[in-house]
Structure 1
Amino acid sequence: MLLVQNILVILVSFSYLISAEQQNKYEVYQKLQQDLESMKFENEARFKKTDTKISNMEGRISQQDEIIRKQQELIKRLQRNQELQKHTRQVSVQKKVALTYRTSGDQSSLGADHTIKFDRRITDVFNSYSSSTGIFTAPVGGYYAFVLDTRTLPGRICWIDAVKNGVPIATNYMEAPSGQEDSETSFAIVRLDTGDQVWVRNKVYHGHSCGLDDLANFSGFLLYQDL
């Protein structure tokens, strides 16, 4: 608006300059020069104020950007802390499963698919093995390790499997010469869902009668639980 007014002033001054008498033209010219100088100073002052406002706005925008950046960093730290706390809670409630059982006496005549019952409890942290059925039942899902150690009666041939839900996961094959024993140890790592079962059974090998002494033992433990 002020620029329009300045232009109008210039136009009016020129018009007056053209129509003025010769003696007044010099005075009008001086007045026009003064008006132009005044307009120049006013415009320079206005531009300076505008530059100052723009500079101030840029400064405020820069401050806002810095605030936003710090807030984003804070949000990321909070998210990492929440994830760490969640993981810590999950680890803190992880169940502990560990067991070792042995047989209390010789088992001289084992039939086909006969479940071998380890009835001497050494340790069972979660009470997950039943000595009456010979079955371990997984209390939680995760990865488990099992160790099967067996020894035959003299002169016996045995094929002993550790099975998960009926599927073999480890095998002890022993062939003892007459008058001597033979022993075998196997190890397996397997993933179990909650409720999966593991047990040890005899597999008749070519009709041979298997017999185990009282040194057989079965152990297992939870490596890590599903999160």
Structure 2
Amino acid sequence: MNVCFGVFILLSVPFSSINGAYSENIETVVQKLTAQNEKLMAKIDKVDSELREEKARNNQLREKVDLLDAKLRLSGRKQTTRQLNDPTVAFTAVISPSDLTNLNAGQPIIFDRTITNMANAYDTSSGIFTAPIRGVYIFNMGIMVEPGENEYLQFVKDGAHVMYNYIHASGGLDDVSSSRTVVMELENGNQVWIRTTKSATHGSGNLHGNEFSTFSGWLLAITE
């Protein structure tokens, strides 16, 4: 009987200890899981906050892109409208008599007949082109002289030298032509013409006409 009682006591003590240890272990695990869960939730909240901030930045960027796109479309429409409304300025004039003779130093060359004179900016009586609008213009002179003749000419802008042209037909039977082209920016009202140089040795003073000598110009682009 004593032996059996001793065995019973020996078995009941470890069972209580195990039960307590097991309860403490579960509590510890729960605490750890709770702490891990809190850390995970904090990370999720942080990621969610970063996503909201990134979405806000993307929305701002999209608004800027939309605004830029709208400005570009508006600019394109304005440019198209401006091109449609831009005036056409262009002329070509020729020397119609057979020759211009006895030209003096500094004398304007009169190209008396126009083939084209859009905007009526070229004056056949004076040989002067007057810019009707501020912009970049292209001008060309093509001059012919007969054998034995020579001449120094120049583009001038409001009376100031821009560019020379020299034509020389040394002799024989052949006429000689020379062409020069210049690009210049003009203000509204600026004037351009061709004249002999002011030097006393400007040349023989004779140019061949019959529409072989020409003066042309046109508006390339309007400037602000």
Task: Indicate which of 214, 221, 226 corresponds to 2:223.
Answer: 226
User: What runs of 5+ residues in structure 2 fail to find an aligned partner?
Assistant: 1-23
The alignment's TM-score, normalised by the length of structure 2, stands at: 0.68
> Any idea what SS the aligned residue of 2:141 has?
strand
1:148 aligns with 2:145: no
Q: Which moved more, 1:61-70 or 1:101-110?
A: 61-70
The offset of 1:74, in angstroms, is: 1.9
The match for 2:65 is 73
Conserved 8 A contact 1:117-1:131: yes
The match for 2:171 is 177
The offset of 1:221, in angstroms, is: 1.9
Go from structure 1 to structure 2 and tell me whether the alpha carbon gap of 1:116 and 1:62 turns closer, same or farther (over 3 Å shift).
Answer: closer
> Any idea what SS the aligned residue of 1:146 has?
strand
Q: How far apart, CA to CA, are the structure 2 residues paired with 1:72 and 1:192?
A: 37
Q: Which moved more, 1:153-162 or 1:40-49?
A: 40-49
Q: Which moved more, 1:70-79 or 1:128-137?
A: 70-79
Task: Indicate which of 96, 104, 128 corresponds to 2:121.
Answer: 128
> Any idea what SS the aligned residue of 2:171 has?
coil
Task: Indicate which of 194, 214, 218 corresponds to 1:217.
Answer: 214
The match for 2:110 is 117
Conserved 8 A contact 1:158-1:202: yes
Go from structure 1 to structure 2 and tell me whether the alpha carbon gap of 1:124 and 1:56 turns closer, same or farther (over 3 Å shift).
Answer: same
User: What runs of 5+ residues in structure 1 fail to find an aligned partner?
Assistant: 1-32
Q: CA RMSD in A?
A: 3.6
1:192 aligns with 2:180: no
Percent same amino acid among aligned pairs? 25
Go from structure 1 to structure 2 and tell me whether the alpha carbon gap of 1:156 and 1:205 turns closer, same or farther (over 3 Å shift).
Answer: farther
Q: Which moved more, 1:78-87 or 1:92-101?
A: 78-87
Conserved 8 A contact 2:90-2:118: yes
Q: How far apart, CA to CA, are the structure 2 residues paired with 1:51 and 1:140?
A: 68
> Deviations along 1:115-153, whole A, 9 cap, x unmatched?
111111111112111011110112223332222122235
> Deviations along 1:64-121, whole A, 9 cap, x unmatched?
3332332232233223333433433443333322211111212221111111111111
> Any idea what SS the aligned residue of 1:79 has?
helix
What letter corresponds to residue 206 of structure 2 in structure 1? G
Q: Which moved more, 1:128-137 or 1:212-221?
A: 212-221
What letter corresponds to residue 223 of structure 1 in structure 2? L
Q: How far apart, CA to CA, are the structure 2 residues paired with 1:42 and 1:50?
A: 12
The match for 1:10 is none
The match for 1:138 is 131
The offset of 1:182, in angstroms, is: 3.4
The alignment's TM-score, normalised by the length of structure 1, stands at: 0.67
Q: How far apart, CA to CA, are the structure 2 residues paired with 1:44 and 1:206?
A: 103
1:93 aligns with 2:93: no
Go from structure 1 to structure 2 and tell me whether the alpha carbon gap of 1:77 and 1:101 turns closer, same or farther (over 3 Å shift).
Answer: same
